[in-house]
Amino acid sequence: MIRLDKFLSEMGLGTRSEVKKLIKTGQIAINGTVAVKPETKVDTDADEVSVNGRIVKYQRYEYYLFNKPSGCVSATSDNVHDTVMDYITDAVHDDLFPVGRLDIDTEGLLLITNDGVLSHELLSPSKHVAKTYYARIDGEVTWDDIIRFKEGIDIGDERPTKPAELVIKKSGSVSEIELTITEGKFHQVKRMFEALGKRVIYLKRISMGPLKLPDDLKTGTYRALTQAETDMLMQIKSGK
Ligand code: URA
């Protein structure tokens, strides 16, 4: 249950004082009856709120799939750089944040939401959510590297990395690979290759758990998750 004025302003109908005016002037109805008190309590699951006859559905959480460009930081504010949030221009709520971090020069899939519980589940080390990256590597990537990644690599932390799956797409003076990891250590992909004496020259995340970066989602743009994508995330959120 939330106050009617909060409901309306959370759903983007204006500031608290703007929506109070809508209420006072009889433009809002709850279950077909005009509601004139901003403090009226609304059951967000059961009540039907309408503005001048148009039903407004309550949505507590927002979920966006963003194709992060290089040059912006995965944070909600920064004194120097653009943040990923600068790209999310039509969110209804003002409490959205990126789920996890990609380096400033990394591109690709980033989930933006205000669902803290889901974020926690996706980032929790015990959940082993798989993340796949496409990378270009300066140098030849070999079958031996596949084995090294599978065995786990010492990147200078207390423990070696967990087994990671390396797929070589092209091997040459510049190689192309896909790497799937189930952890999220700082600069993990770059450090894993560095430990083998190779340098990542381009990095892009192409999947995270059940979410895949759509081919047609241009770098720097985003879209709301589909119902199927949200349903898959809700399974993770509920601990399944
Ligand atoms: N690994 C990295 O090195 N950088 C990223 O941005 C993500 C994973």
- pLDDT tens, residue by residue, 127-155: 999 999 999 999 999 999 999 999 999 99
Q: Which of 72, 73, 106 to mutate to test the pocket of ligand 1 (most atoms within 8 A of CB)?
A: 106
Q: Residue 12: is its pLDDT beyond 90? A: no
Q: How far does residue 3's CA lie from ligand 1's centre (Å)? A: 42
Q: What is the pTM of this model?
A: 0.89
For 159-165, what is the mean pLDDT? Answer: 97
- Convert the pLDDT of each residue in 185-216 to its tens digit: 999 999 999 999 999 999 999 999 999 999 99
Q: How far does residue 190's CA lie from ligand 1's centre (Å)? A: 6
Q: How far does residue 106's CA lie from ligand 1's centre (Å)? A: 7
What ligand 1 atom has the least distance to the C-alpha of 200?
3
Name the residue with the closest Cα to ligand 1, atom 7: 102
Which residues approach ligand 1 with their CB closer than 6 A? 102-103, 106, 187-190, 203
Q: How far does residue 136's CA lie from ligand 1's centre (Å)? A: 13
- Convert the pLDDT of each residue in 81-126 to its tens digit: 999 999 999 998 889 999 999 999 999 999 999 999 999 999 999 9
Q: Residue 230: is its pLDDT beyond 90? A: yes
Whole-angstrom distance, CA of residue 148 vs CA of residue 134: 18
Q: Residue 27: is its pLDDT beyond 70? A: yes
Q: Residue 240: is its pLDDT beyond 70? A: no
For 153-169, what is the mean pLDDT? Answer: 97
The pLDDT assigned to 239 comes to 79
> Crossing angle of helices 116-123/227-237, nearest 10°?
70
Q: Residue 72: is its pLDDT beyond 70? A: yes
